[in-house]
Amino acid sequence: MTYISSARPTILLADVEGILETSRRRNRQDEITGLLVFDGKRFLQVIEGPYQAIETTFARIAQDPRHRALVKLATRSVEVREFGQWAMASHIVGPLIGDGNIVEQVDALTETLTDPNIKATLRGFARVRA
């Protein structure tokens, strides 16, 4: 499942780090893998795993006041995980962390993806500047 959302305008780096820490811990328990990209304003997240775990987790994420205006971009069933080989459940990139070169970072993170739609969605997100 892929969705985008807008971060609450007052969001802090500490909030994003908290989201990442919770997501990694809970997703490991729930056998969910994926990628979370934050560009300073918006989130783009891909999560994959057992159907029920994805439904439950997405319902929880949607209730989270740290973001709003969630829009599901795609949901489909897959035989093989796209992010399954990654030890970390998610990644944060963007201006708040690192050198701020979101395009380079997302390109690197998506290098090994086999699904052309997910790859294009992630790379397109990194290139859009509002």
Ligand X SMILES: Cc1cc2nc3c(=O)[nH]c(=O)nc-3n(C[C@H](O)[C@H](O)[C@H](O)COP(=O)(O)O)c2cc1C
Residues lying near ligand X in the complex (CB under 6 A) are found at 5, 19, 22-23, 26-27, 36, 43, 45, 47, 57, 60-61, 64, 66-67
**In the chain, where does DSSP find H-type helix?**
13-30, 51-62, 102-109, 116-127
Q: How far is CA 86 from CA 27, 32, 33, 37, 39, in A?
A: 12, 11, 8, 15, 21
What distance lies between CA 128 and its chain's CA centroid? Answer: 16
The label of the residue with tokens 């990644």 reads 91
The nearer residue to ligand X, 61 or 93, going by C-beta atoms, is 61
The nearer residue to ligand X, 70 or 116, going by C-beta atoms, is 70
CB of 60 to ligand X, least distance (A): 5
CB of 19 to ligand X, least distance (A): 5
Q: Are strands 2-7 and 67-74 parallel, antiparallel or unpaired?
A: antiparallel
The nearer residue to ligand X, 2 or 45, going by C-beta atoms, is 45
The nearer residue to ligand X, 21 or 104, going by C-beta atoms, is 21
CB of 59 to ligand X, least distance (A): 10
